[in-house]
Structure 1
Amino acid sequence: MDGTEFGRLLREARQRALLTLENLAEVSGVSVRAISDMERGQSLPRQATLSELMDALEPSEDERRRLVEASMRRAGDPAVRVPRQLPPDLAVFRGREAALATLYGLSAQVTEQGGHVVVSAIGGMAGVGKTTLAVHWAHQVADRFPDGQLYVNLRGFEDTGSPLDPAEALGGFLTALGVADRDIPRGAEERGALFRERTASRRLLLVLDNARDEAQVRPLLPASGCLTVITSRSLLPGLAAVEGARLVGLDVWTREEALAALAARIGEERCLAEPGAAEELVGLCGFLPLAVAIVAAQLSATPQMPLRLGVRELRESMPLLDALWTGAGRGDVRAVFSWSYRALASGTAGFFRHLALHPGPAVTTAAAASLAGVGMPEARRYLRQLSSANLLSRDAEGRYVLHDLVRAYGTELVELEKDDRLGAQIRLLDYLRHNAHMANRFLGRTLADEADPPADGVVGVVLGTREEALDWFRQEEATVAAALRSLDDPRLLRFRMTLTQDWVSYYSVMGRWSAEIETKRIGLDAALLLDEPAAVVRNSAALARALAETGQTEEADQQVELMLGQLHRLGPAEQASTERTVGWVRGRQKRHAQALHHARRALEIYRALGDDRATAREMNAVGWYLALLGRYEETVALCEEAIPLLRRDDNLRIEAAAWDTMGYARQRLGDLAGAAADYRESLRIYGEAFDGYNQAEVLDHLATAQREQGDLAGARASWLRAAELLSAIHSPRAARMRANARSLLPDAPERGPGQT
């Protein structure tokens, strides 16, 4: 524990508030002695105590944030990450006083009394303003939650695709809270446990937007002290019954609220000049917030046009969009959309129709440009124009969101205008394929061949770093899944078969096993329909790996049988790759003898082909399986043979792994000096590859060898260095490394074998 920084901040906050120790104790209810200990850096407060102190001191938002961060910091720990994920607030927000009063009361309940409250803000139809209300309120109370705000669109009610998997949402939250990608657990339960652990001593505000049902929401609820707000088109009564949620129902605006919102957007003077026309306009919009916003955007663009002309145009618009009818006498929302659409220039209108074909929940500029077959400058201009017309909004990631009701209208227009739907879909799929292939260069994957040139009109994204590549994958991940599920034209079958092949590395790096399983099943079905054995095996291999990672042994076995059944139809290189994959799956299943058998078969084929690079790589795999079976001498011999080949091909990471494998075998043979030398060489090479995570793994191995040698100071230094590397990537395993180092201090309790 290191309370020095917190003590200094607490003392400064007390002095700024012109309070003595006794005054602060009286106001906060915390004892003078406890406050004195904290100010002298001798203790850190619990969450409840910290809340009492801050309520008494009334610090600014920045002071509150720094106090919270300092209160959570322990000696040597990295700074706490404070996420701020809320989408932008709406400057012209109006109305909803009753709902806001309820929400403010619930936020006060959390900040003043502690505990965890769930709020479900719901409405009977899309476009009623649930998200707008939740985001506006969240911005108003954000200062009461100094540890940050988390936001996610759960995609519960999208026209195409499935709701967001809670495990994926948890992965995003953990990343925002500072957990490194490689340290995020694979399973939903493990992710949920880590999420609750990371939020246990924090005061966070969560907005879970567009939830499908209670089952999707429950795994995302944090620890006590946080406030979660949920928006959904469903009632979610189970949350009220079990979690004690307070349900806040939303309907369309009242006439007064709709008029106030219109005036805020177009100017109060125009509404006062034509009060009857203003009332009729909001009535024709059905008092639906989305429709009023679109009408207001068009009126703002034509400030000289009388409101009565707007009323006339709405009355004369195209027939009703049945799905958008808000009730008898409430108006025609399709008319609102058509009015907005007709005001667009020809190029912008065509771009809008193409945008409606995007299957995912949000679209990037590059994907939108590819769909429409235009350049990036034109796409940016069209997107700005559509946003100004309120036909688009933006999410927290900067992507563009087409409201599902507007999307339905745009899709109708595609049919009316006889646009080339298939051509647009091919360009989108080619965009996802081509750029994923190029991004793989930064994920440690060797590209066997050059990517096929993209189709005309497809945007190639410029990527220069690993982080940029990962960010591109994250931005388009939901689009790939939605495209595979919804773009079912038989002429796109080959795209469905091959699309995600270049996404395998990303899924593996990020632990997106559920996404990989879902998409690879689709790809495998397409390959089986086309009866292409190489594609069957590639899709089956990726599916088997993901199933093995998630412990779905029976289905992984089915995929292994499918792959082995295709061997006689494959060429030698594909046979070797298949045997290698089967060996990996068996290794993950701890069937080490079977893993060794298949890895050796792959090694034999690679040797026969004269593929030295693949041969050397597979030698390390065979060596590892031999070591797991206790055949350490054979492991050492094979690694010694492989390392010169790996060095010649400059295969840094596999060479480093081979030195680590050899060290593991030598350590168990009792050759501690040789093992330590191997580990150090592995460390050096991983350093050349800038691979801090695997350096920490090897330092852990080296420390155990040093401890066995009696070099306790060396072992302690190795574990502390491993902790530094893991802390730099916010890995929770850093704490275990520090604990191992502390166990070697003279006054540490004796540890039994294997207790590290």
Structure 2
Amino acid sequence: MDKSTFGRLLREARQRSLLTLECLAEASGVSVRAISDMERGLSLPRQATLTELMDALELDEHERRRLVQASVRRPQRRVPRQLPPDLPVFRGRDETLTAAREITDRGTGSGHVVAIGGLAGVGKTTLAVHWAHQVADRFPDGQLYVNLRGFEESDEPLDPGEALGGFLTALGVAGGEIPASTEQRSALFRERTAARRLIVLLDNARDAEQARPLLPAFAGCLTIITSRNRLSGLAATEAATLIGLDVWTPAEAVAALAARIGEARCAAEPEAAAELTELCGRLPLAVAVVGAQLSTAPQIPLRLSVRELRAIRPQLDALSADERRTDVRAVFSWSYQALAAGTARFFRYLSVHPGPTVSVEAAAATAGVAPPTARRYMRELISAGLLSRDAEGRFVMHDLVRAYGSELVVAERDDRLAAETRLLDYLRYNARSAGRFMSHYRPEPTSSQAESTVHVVIDNREEALAWFRQEEATIAAALRTVQNPRLLRRRVDLTHDRVGYTAATGRWIEEMAATRAALDAALAFDDPIAVMRCARHLSRALLATGRADEADEAVGLMIAQLHRLPADHRAYAERNISLARDRQGRSAESLHHARNALAIARELGQTMEIAMALGSVGWSLAVVGEHEEAIAACEEALALLQDIGYHEPMGAIWHTIGYAQQGLGDTAAAVATYEQSLRLHRENSDTSERPTFVLNDLASARLQQGDSDRARANWIEAARVLDDLGSRRAAAEMRAKAEALPTTGRGAADAGDP
């Protein structure tokens, strides 16, 4: 949609809410001018801005969905804008900011690497983000941001390779173009940033070794690293400038509190304001939470708040030997005790969520409430200073706040297992729903879904991709951190349910890591169906990345489970083994397993499975040169599929017929049949790699006819599709075939046609 459509929808929503421009600006924190520009069709909002507007308008799920769809920008050159929002009430750090600006002003003779160190909650991230926003205009190629999770108690530090994968994706690298190893990814990242002026913010790094692979090589980039450790190693090897942060000075702390609750209020009770900041240990995070709490109750005298904080602190002294940790936990406790009972319960369950960011839907599922209720609670937690938002409008919980919430889950005897179960069920159900639009792959049902699962409306591929992108970090974190043995099967099922997304986007490396873990779990609880599924997914990922030899072990596991599988699962497994052996070039074995699948299907009398097995048999026969028998098998399969009205596999079966016709020397018939196959794939919106197989064989047939221009066009089209799917090796092979052809001029006018 265009800007005018979004503007009309926003204006109508505001008018239905009986809000003026000024009232909406006050409620959302977005300026009157910015809202006016949007309503007049002059601009589109960033995701974080859009979320603030929708929350202020209190839109229902349907209205929110329409606005989100209308706000999507048309494709353009990818310039990442990943910085979290700047803090409007930023105060203090004048000397540090002056030093930081001097670093930026030194020119581009050498790359700028700056490491900001200090204890938890001292404001390292806030300072880094503020500085980055101040100088962002000097770096026109964008900003990259990642939370490296160096010190989170609930999760392992982020692997540098995973962080690099996110950076490369943000820079426009297709999933399949992203190498497997951290070293290769780091090299590609340096290559892709070699001519760009970027800001790279590496937040919460554990140590220098975690940060080093993420450093761009170009001298025109600014890299800012935050860590609780002093990263002296980077100073030695990368000439990094080290900046140390301590707590605020007394004056800075009071100024920061005044920025949040008002200058007049602090001036009216200066001694109480100063004591409040001292009770916070002058720690910026604690002062921010106190300021948020006080701003919601402007009528309460500061001296009363001082007494309340004094009363809470002794209760926590025995729980921590770290004085600073006691300071911040006292503040958290004070803010938490002011929450309504429902919001307090929601906060505790929100701390169970394992991801670095959390969506409203995932939060609702985890806490067992409806999304509108979750959205209201999350706004209250933001007001209380216990939650914030990132550049995309997603909700973020500081790791110290999450640790405090986890303590409360134990203290209040909340049901952590139930919360984790609800989260996994939410992820599984919606991954399966979104997976319908990802590829031709359709996972068979696993186990039943919980009734309380939050269902997201997903009606097309764009919405499916948006959901997966929203939740992929949560899925990865859940698979990594949810360790309760009673949830092992759900973790395996979640790995299975997201296969469509990883296949459609070419995220084979991530798929291999997750599937190996799921396979270990399936072997541990000795479920032959689960083992077969996981082994199938693993072999597919290995074959897609050109690791045919490594896939042999996974295929062997499938074969080893055959005698333990129910007949219908055994037929399906035999077909998948046949496909894997075909990809490995072991044609005789492929035909053997395809015939096994057909025999089982005929015994079961399942028409669709018979048709699918006939398709596998037909292809295997064509590959070994039994072309007439292959055509007969495919014609029988087509008739069965037509009878039951299942058209999706027909494109692949017509491809086999064309391949057999070409093998028989009837090139003209083969070309016509390949074209029929492509039409069917397009009609069925097949987004898998299957159409590229047809394009490859169509190109070879046209080359036999002497039409090198159309052959080239087919191979180039196949390479483009494979690039989009992330199949780097296969795309390169198609492109090499196209480039090897001489330009003859024949068919040049139609070179774009299939």
- TM bracket, shorter-chain basis: 0.7 to 0.9
Give 2:705's match in structure 1, choosing from 706, 709, 715: 709
Deviation at residue 421 of structure 1 after TM alignment: 2.6
Please give the residue correspondences for 1:198-213 in structure 2 after superposition, counting only pairs within 5 Å: 198-213=192-207
Give 2:411's match in structure 1, choosing from 404, 413, 416: 416
Residue aligning to 1:305: 300
Residue aligning to 2:274: 279
Please give the residue correspondences for 1:518-557 in structure 2 after superposition, counting only pairs within 5 Å: 518-547=513-542, 549=544, 556-557=551-552
Between the aligned residues of both structures, percent identity stands at: 57
Q: Specify whether residues 370 and 259 from structure 1 end up closer, same or farther in structure 2 by C-alpha distance, changes over 3 A only.
A: same
SS of 1:228's equivalent? Answer: strand
Distance 2:556 2:446 in 1: 31
SS of 1:317's equivalent? Answer: helix
Distance 2:704 2:564 in 1: 51
Q: Specify whether residues 283 and 181 from structure 1 end up closer, same or farther in structure 2 by C-alpha distance, changes over 3 A only.
A: same
Gaps of 5+ in 1: 1-61, 63-77, 749-756
Distance 2:134 2:84 in 1: 13
Distance 1:376 1:672 in 2: 58
Deviation at residue 643 of structure 1 after TM alignment: 4.3
Worse-matched range after superposition: 523-532 or 135-144: 523-532
1:682 aligns with 2:685: no
1:229 aligns with 2:257: no
Q: Specify whether residues 659 and 420 from structure 1 end up closer, same or farther in structure 2 by C-alpha distance, changes over 3 A only.
A: same
User: In structure 2, what residue type is equivalent to 1:91?
Assistant: P
Q: Specify whether residues 607 and 443 from structure 1 end up closer, same or farther in structure 2 by C-alpha distance, changes over 3 A only.
A: farther
Distance 1:630 1:158 in 2: 59
1:430 aligns with 2:425: yes
SS of 2:204's equivalent? Answer: strand
Worse-matched range after superposition: 219-228 or 618-627: 618-627
Deviation at residue 525 of structure 1 after TM alignment: 4.4
Distance 1:648 1:107 in 2: 70
1:582 aligns with 2:577: yes
Residue aligning to 1:5: none
Q: Specify whether residues 502 and 196 from structure 1 end up closer, same or farther in structure 2 by C-alpha distance, changes over 3 A only.
A: same
Distance 1:730 1:501 in 2: 20
Give 2:364's match in structure 1, choosing from 349, 360, 369: 369
Deviation at residue 720 of structure 1 after TM alignment: 6.8
Q: Specify whether residues 389 and 621 from structure 1 end up closer, same or farther in structure 2 by C-alpha distance, changes over 3 A only.
A: same
Retained in 2: the 8 A contact 1:126–1:233? yes
Worse-matched range after superposition: 212-221 or 377-386: 212-221
Worse-matched range after superposition: 289-298 or 716-725: 716-725
SS of 2:248's equivalent? Answer: coil
Deviation at residue 331 of structure 1 after TM alignment: 6.1
User: In structure 1, what residue type is equivalent to 2:98?
Assistant: A
Worse-matched range after superposition: 606-615 or 566-575: 606-615
Residue aligning to 2:127: 133
| TM-score normalised by the chain length of structure 1 | 0.78
Distance 1:256 1:596 in 2: 80
User: In structure 2, what residue type is equivalent to 1:285?
Assistant: C
Retained in 1: the 8 A contact 2:506–2:727? no
Retained in 1: the 8 A contact 2:174–2:723? no
Distance 2:586 2:318 in 1: 58
Q: Specify whether residues 740 and 303 from structure 1 end up closer, same or farther in structure 2 by C-alpha distance, changes over 3 A only.
A: same
Give 2:147's match in structure 1, choosing from 144, 153, 157: 153
Retained in 1: the 8 A contact 2:506–2:726? no
Residue aligning to 1:73: none
Deviation at residue 343 of structure 1 after TM alignment: 1.0
Retained in 1: the 8 A contact 2:348–2:406? yes
User: In structure 2, what residue type is equivalent to 1:292?
Assistant: V
Deviation at residue 380 of structure 1 after TM alignment: 0.8
Residue aligning to 1:462: 457
Residue aligning to 1:320: 316
1:339 aligns with 2:334: yes
Residue aligning to 1:71: none
Retained in 2: the 8 A contact 1:294–1:337? yes
Distance 1:218 1:205 in 2: 15
Residue aligning to 2:66: none
Distance 2:174 2:645 in 1: 27
Give 2:377's match in structure 1, choosing from 373, 379, 382: 382
Deviation at residue 322 of structure 1 after TM alignment: 7.2
Q: Specify whether residues 683 and 518 from structure 1 end up closer, same or farther in structure 2 by C-alpha distance, changes over 3 A only.
A: closer
1:507 aligns with 2:502: yes
User: In structure 2, what residue type is equivalent to 1:151?
Assistant: Y
Number of equivalenced pairs:
668
Residue aligning to 2:487: 492
Please give the residue correspondences for 1:189-268 in structure 2 after superposition, counting only pairs within 5 Å: 191-192=185-186, 194-224=188-218, 225-268=220-263
Q: Specify whether residues 507 and 717 from structure 1 end up closer, same or farther in structure 2 by C-alpha distance, changes over 3 A only.
A: closer
Distance 1:493 1:324 in 2: 34
Residues 190-246 of structure 1 deviation map (CA, whole Å, 9 limit, x = unaligned): 655554444333322222223334444444344524333232334444433333333
Deviation at residue 460 of structure 1 after TM alignment: 1.4
Gaps of 5+ in 2: 1-42, 44-74, 747-754
Residues 603-638 of structure 1 deviation map (CA, whole Å, 9 limit, x = unaligned): 332343333433443444455556666766665565
| TM-score normalised by the chain length of structure 2 | 0.78
User: In structure 2, what residue type is equivalent to 1:385?
Assistant: E
User: In structure 1, what residue type is equivalent to 2:383?
Assistant: S
Give 1:93's match in structure 2, choosing from 78, 90, 94: 90
Retained in 2: the 8 A contact 1:434–1:451? no
Q: Specify whether residues 245 and 347 from structure 1 end up closer, same or farther in structure 2 by C-alpha distance, changes over 3 A only.
A: same
1:103 aligns with 2:97: no
Residues 573-604 of structure 1 deviation map (CA, whole Å, 9 limit, x = unaligned): 12222333334444454545444443443333
SS of 1:120's equivalent? Answer: strand
Give 2:108's match in structure 1, choosing from 89, 104, 113: 113
Residues 672-705 of structure 1 deviation map (CA, whole Å, 9 limit, x = unaligned): 4333223322332232134478556644553444
Residues 315-370 of structure 1 deviation map (CA, whole Å, 9 limit, x = unaligned): 11052367876548x96221101110111111111111111222222221112112
Distance 1:532 1:559 in 2: 15
Distance 1:573 1:456 in 2: 28
Residues 714-756 of structure 1 deviation map (CA, whole Å, 9 limit, x = unaligned): 44555676688789999996998699479644699xxxxxxxx
Distance 1:100 1:323 in 2: 36
